[in-house]
Amino acid sequence: MSSLRFSHWQLPLEQLLVWIVFLAHAGWLVPDVNEPNYLAKAKYYWDPQWCGGDFFLQSGDAHAVFFWFFGWLTQVWSLPAVALLGRIVTCGCLAVAWQRLAMQVAPRRWLAVISAALFVCFNSRLHMAGEWAVGGVESKGFAYALVFAGLAALVRARWNLAWILLGAATAIHVLVGGWALIAAGFAWCWLRDDPQRPRLIDMLKAMALAGLLALVGIWPAVQLSTGVDPQIVAEARWIQVFHRLPHHLNPQHFLLEKGWLNVPFGLRFLALSALWLLLVCRLPDPPNRRLAAVVLGGLAIAGVGLAISLLGQHDPHTTAPWLRFYWFRLADVILPAGAALAVTGWITTWHDSRRRLSGLMWTAGLLLAAWHVGDRVTRHSTASIPLADRRTAQTDRQLADWRAVCDHIRRVTPPDAIFIVPRRAHTFKWYAHRGEVGTWKEMPQDAASIPPWWSRLEDLHLSRYGWRKSLTDAPPQRLLELASNYGADYLVTDATPLLPFTPIIRNDSFAVYRLFPPSPPDADGRTTF
């Protein structure tokens, strides 16, 4: 099925159209939800003086490869410019890899464009645990591009190249690439009757190289908990799985949660699984069978995670260290990819013998793809508040006020100043370029730092009745004590009610206070506010 030939302009045009689809899907205002913490880490990696003293930035790095090859751009351009460039480049890499994969399983011109739109539609609307591949700039976007490129090689029975590409994906993002490697291994074991399946001995060199590449990502990840007291590690895993990330890690939390169309995540994912199985059973050609084996591998990995959760539901402290490995991450991406490609594979396979059914599938796929892209473009074009800011600002006025106080902070406070900020205000560093005591989004990656980070959040934002809606609800004397404990000189909170501290700026939405007396004038007579 892979004998399709493109003219000199058709191949780049199809890749360009896929790129446009991905950009249309990921076209949220800057910053996207994860871009502030990812790019702040990347900037700090190259400039440790930036936001000096910030607890999150000083914690361990889980994505050093990404920070190394991409973070230097933050020394040349602003964070918003790097985010935009990153999305353009990431979507470009994903588009090229996707088109190559789609061409192998559905070798008809322009079907890659439809399958790309169906993929992001299924991934964003029918996921189980909140994983995505096309979105804001971070390491997993580049890793998924390598995964798709590896799958394109695998479905052509170029196993050695597939191992190397998946090893490179693991170097960039250890979980994305690592689970894809395991799913590919599952596929190799599953496809025993494939005449083009190579012997293990014929793949050893490529697998060794893949292993060496993977170590680039595995080694830093292992170091994040090496030498740490086991009790601290256990506490960190408990916080990760059951407090901070249950929507990704704990199936007993997310399977019954409701999302798009008010349907539980688990039921939506089950429906997508049924659609994929129904379609793929009628695709007997080798490329589609190989891809189906990888999808089965991803589902098997998710099944293991579900079994761990169910078997250990009465002993969560035992299951937490195991559930932290994102067992559902690959399934959330590989099943939508498999289903989207199965739709276009069906169109190709049955185009001649069952033209009416193939035409119906073509029409349905095209309409669904067009609806999703159109819906995303409409939502992006009418949105006025970036996703990352929506926990801080619910109106345009609040967003303008938030940016205004951050700009003022950047102008009048020392570069190494530390701030107490609202719990969900994780764009503070993005705008103010100043360090903070801690926010909800910025959970460290190293085990030793997670319990102290959680303690900071509880100290600042937790009352006997639950999480405080505002720092203005905390006793002023308690805020002073915590500021002294955590080395903070400033407080950012709601504009009302007024607090008994010295304000340095206040508008309709937010107020910034100095908690301690200003430092004496320097040699030039300037006073730090």
Q: Please tell me whether residues 373 and 407 are part of one structural domain.
A: no
Same domain? 346 vs 421:
no
d(CA 68, CA 75) in angstroms, rounded, equals 12
Q: Residue 258: what pLDDT? A: 87
Residue with tokens 């390491």: 139
Q: Are 326 and 448 in the same domain? A: no
Is 473 part of any domain?
yes
Q: Is residue 389 part of a domain?
A: no
CB 449 within 8 A of CB 41: no
373 and 408 assigned to the same domain? no
| Co-location of 260 and 333 in the same domain | yes
* Cβ atoms of residues 161 and 264 within 8 Å: no
pLDDT values of the chain reduced to their tens digit, one per residue, 529 residues: 445 667 778 899 999 999 999 999 999 999 999 999 999 999 999 999 999 999 999 999 999 999 999 999 999 999 999 999 999 999 999 999 999 999 999 999 999 999 999 999 999 999 999 999 999 999 999 999 999 999 999 999 999 999 999 999 999 999 999 999 999 999 999 999 999 999 999 999 999 999 999 999 999 999 999 999 999 999 999 999 999 999 999 999 999 998 878 899 999 999 999 999 999 998 989 999 999 999 999 999 999 999 999 999 889 999 999 999 999 999 999 999 999 999 999 999 876 667 788 888 899 999 999 999 999 999 999 999 999 999 999 999 999 999 999 999 999 999 999 999 999 999 999 999 999 999 999 999 999 999 999 999 999 999 999 999 999 999 999 999 999 999 999 999 999 999 999 999 999 999 999 999 876 655 554 445 5
Whether residues 110 and 160 fall in one domain: yes
Query: Bridge partners of 456?
Result: none
Answer whether 338's CB lies under 8 Å from 292's CB.
yes
What pLDDT does 2 receive? 47
Global pTM exceeds 0.85: yes
- Judge whether 247 lies within some domain: yes
Q: How many domains does the chain have?
A: 2
Q: Which of 131, 84, 26, 97 is nearest to 373 (CA)?
A: 26
Statement to judge: residues 254 and 365 lie in one domain: yes
Task: Give yes or no: residues 400 and 372 share one domain.
Answer: no
pLDDT of residue 1: 46
| Domain stop point among 382, 410, 444 | 382
Residues 502, 406, single domain; the answer is yes
DSSP 8-state code for residue 51: T
Domain assignment present for residue 1? The answer is no
Residues 6 or more apart in contact with residue 309 via CB below 8 angstroms:
250, 251, 252, 319, 323
The closest alpha carbon to 286, from 192, 152, 194, 421, belongs to: 194
Q: Is residue 388 part of a domain?
A: no
Nearest to 411 by CA among 520, 511, 528: 528
Question: Do residues 398 and 494 lie in contact, with contact meaning Cβ atoms separated by under 8 Å?
Answer: no
Same domain, 71 and 160: yes
187 and 293 inside one domain? yes
The answer to the question of residue 524 being in a domain is no
Query: Considering the domain boundaries, does residue 523 fall inside one?
Result: no
- Please indicate, yes or no, if residue 529 is contained in any of the structural domains: no
Both 400 and 375 in one domain: the answer is: no
Q: Determine the structural domain holding residue 46 and report its residue range.
A: 14-382
What's the CA gap between 29 and 286, in Å, rounded? Answer: 42
Angle at 470 between CA 130 and CA 385, to 5 degrees: 50
Last residue of a domain, one of 382, 413, 445: 382
